[in-house]
């Protein structure tokens, strides 16, 4: 009995509270409608016409002009390491010595055999004139001498290969070996890259082939820096890739400061030497959405300035400005800052200052 009374009482309180909240909402709505709303202040800009260079855009990667993994041709024990990771080296600079003590001993033995073979050949050469030896004995001694000399040269080459040097000027990567380590033939020791110049490899669709030429200037940008790096086209593939229908192009950048590294992702702009007139807006004026880009256009009305959302089609972006392909005309005024507080048909006031990104 008491439980039923408690449930009925709770329901009555909830209904009473809902009615009170509804009445309170109606009162506040009426007051807000009676109170005039102050139009929000926004920054404005106008659609401008600019002359832009017609460039071809692509993406690619940076490649070293010369880059190798230094390794050993012959096996051996690491006797000495003469470099540090990240060091800049010159061509022919000694990097690693492998133990060659046994090879040196064998080399001395071969030198002794060479000396003996030389003496025999010299003696037989003198005795052949007196007919004390036959021609076959002279030929055999000569062959023994030549064989001994070849063995000495082979021994010298083997010892030289145990001294591993840099094949060209460049910068070393991280060392991959340790002192006393046994290296089988072909073991990677350290990567060597020549960084004073770097290649940038990219592809261009075949429809733009007529706009490509050797020596054409490039603008290269990478994610690591905000700078633009210059370059030029040094090679154009003579054939079109049958799968992608793209043309492979190679550019060159003089990387004297060594800021660009092989393997970096790069964005490339190829200057064609042609220009076109485009309509543009600052990127702050455009709202970018997955379903399309839009702006708030400002128009005059009897009540004042009102804004309405309008879909537009955009193109390239350069130096903070976006190309407008359709949806706006030259001189149209749009909101450049403060879009989040706007809705269609809302009255606005124009700030005397431009958007922060457009101020000098």
Is the domain of 247 the same as that of 304?
A: no
Residue 179 lies in a domain: no
Q: Check residue 15 and give its pLDDT.
A: 52
Taking the CA atoms of 211, 213, 215 and 221 in sequence, report the sign of the dihedral they define. Answer: positive
Q: What is the DSSP letter of 74?
A: S
Please give the Cα distance from 76 to 182 (Å, whole number): 6
Q: Check residue 1 and give its pLDDT.
A: 47
Is the domain of 237 the same as that of 297?
A: no
Q: Check residue 267 and give its pLDDT.
A: 93
Is the domain of 295 the same as that of 241?
A: no
Domain count, the chain: 4
Q: Check residue 13 and give its pLDDT.
A: 47
| CB neighbourhood size of 224 (10 A) | 11
Residue 178 lies in a domain: no
Is the domain of 251 the same as that of 282?
A: no
Q: What is the CATH number of the domain that holds 293?
A: 2.40.420.20
Going by C-beta distance under 8 Å and a sequence separation of 6 or more, which residues neighbour residue 183? Answer: 72, 75, 76, 77, 78, 98, 177, 189
Is the domain of 252 the same as that of 294?
A: no
Is the domain of 257 the same as that of 292?
A: no
Are 354 and 45 within 8 A, CB to CB?
yes
Q: And the tokens for 102?
A: 């046994």
Residue 88 lies in a domain: no
| CB neighbourhood size of 70 (10 A) | 21
CA dihedral 221, 223, 224, 229 (to 10 degrees): 0
Q: Check residue 5 and give its pLDDT.
A: 46
Residue 314 lies in a domain: yes
Positions in the chain whose pLDDT score sits under 70: 1-37, 130, 355-360
Are 72 and 187 within 8 A, CB to CB?
yes
Please give the Cα distance from 7 to 204 (Å, whole number): 76
Q: What are phi and psi of 39, to 5 degrees?
A: -60, 140
Q: Check residue 273 and give its pLDDT.
A: 79
CA dihedral 349, 353, 357, 360 (to 10 degrees): 160
Residue 228 lies in a domain: yes
Is the domain of 282 the same as that of 342?
A: yes
| CB neighbourhood size of 119 (10 A) | 12
Instruction: Report CA Rg, the chain.
Output: 40
Q: Is the pTM of this model over 0.75?
A: no
Please give the Cα distance from 172 to 194 (Å, whole number): 9
Is the domain of 157 the same as that of 297?
A: no
Q: Check residue 2 and give its pLDDT.
A: 43
Is the domain of 258 the same as that of 305?
A: no
Going by C-beta distance under 8 Å and a sequence separation of 6 or more, which residues neighbour residue 324? Answer: 47, 278, 279, 280, 281, 312, 313, 314, 315
Q: Check residue 63 and give its pLDDT.
A: 93
- Rounded to 10 deg, the angle between the 135-161 and 101-127 helix axes is 160
Is the domain of 249 the same as that of 288?
A: no
| CB neighbourhood size of 69 (10 A) | 13
Q: Check residue 134 and give its pLDDT.
A: 77
Please give the Cα distance from 14 to 134 (Å, whole number): 133
Please give the Cα distance from 163 to 181 (Å, whole number): 15
Residue 117 lies in a domain: yes
Name the pairing type of β-strands 217-222 and 188-205. Answer: unpaired
State which residues form the domain around 284.
Answer: 41-52+277-358
Name the pairing type of β-strands 163-165 and 41-46. Answer: unpaired
Q: Check residue 7 and give its pLDDT.
A: 55
Q: What is the CATH number of the domain that holds 254?
A: 2.40.30.170
Residue 93 lies in a domain: no
Residue 145 lies in a domain: yes
Secondary structure class of 32 (helix, strand, coil): helix
Is the domain of 268 the same as that of 196?
A: yes
Are 327 and 312 within 8 A, CB to CB?
yes
Is the domain of 237 the same as that of 209?
A: yes
């Amino acid at each position: 009995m008491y439980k039923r009374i408690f449930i009925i009482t709770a329901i009555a309180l909830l209904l009473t509270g809902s009615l009170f909240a509804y009445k309170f909402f109606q009162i506040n709505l009426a007051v807000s409608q009676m109170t005039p709303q102050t139009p929000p202040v926004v920054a404005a800009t106008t659609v401008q016409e600019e002359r832009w260079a017609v460039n071809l855009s692509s993406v690619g990667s940076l490649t070293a002009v010369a880059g190798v993994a230094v390794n050993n041709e012959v096996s051996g024990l690491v006797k000495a390491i003469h470099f540090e990771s990240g060091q800049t080296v010159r061509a022919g600079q000694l990097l690693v010595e492998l133990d060659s003590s046994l090879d040196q001993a064998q080399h001395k033995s071969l030198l002794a055999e060479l000396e003996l073979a030389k003496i025999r050949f010299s003696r037989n050469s003198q005795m052949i004139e007196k007919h004390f030896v036959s021609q076959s004995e002279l030929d055999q001694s000569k062959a023994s001498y030549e064989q001994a000399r070849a063995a000495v040269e082979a021994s010298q080459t083997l010892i030289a290969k145990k001294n591993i040097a840099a094949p060209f000027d460049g910068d070393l990567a991280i060392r991959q070996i340790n002192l006393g380590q046994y290296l089988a033939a072909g073991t990677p020791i350290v990567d060597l890259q020549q960084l004073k110049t770097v290649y940038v490899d990219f592809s261009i669709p075949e429809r733009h082939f007529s706009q490509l030429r050797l020596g054409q200037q490039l603008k290269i940008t990478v994610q690591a820096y905000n700078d633009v790096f210059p370059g030029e086209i040094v090679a154009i593939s003579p054939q079109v890739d049958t799968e992608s229908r793209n043309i492979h192009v190679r550019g060159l950048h003089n990387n004297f400061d060594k800021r660009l590294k092989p393997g970096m992702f790069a964005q490339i702009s190829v200057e064609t030497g042609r220009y076109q007139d485009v309509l543009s807006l600052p990127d702050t004026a455009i709202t970018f959405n997955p379903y399309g880009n839009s702006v708030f256009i400002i128009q005059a009305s009897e009540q004042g300035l009102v804004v309405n959302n309008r879909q537009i089609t955009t193109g390239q972006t350069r130096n903070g400005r976006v190309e407008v392909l359709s949806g706006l005309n030259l001189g149209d005024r749009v909101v450049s800052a403060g879009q989040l507080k706007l809705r269609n048909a809302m009255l606005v006031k124009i700030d005397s200052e431009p958007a922060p990104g457009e101020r000098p």
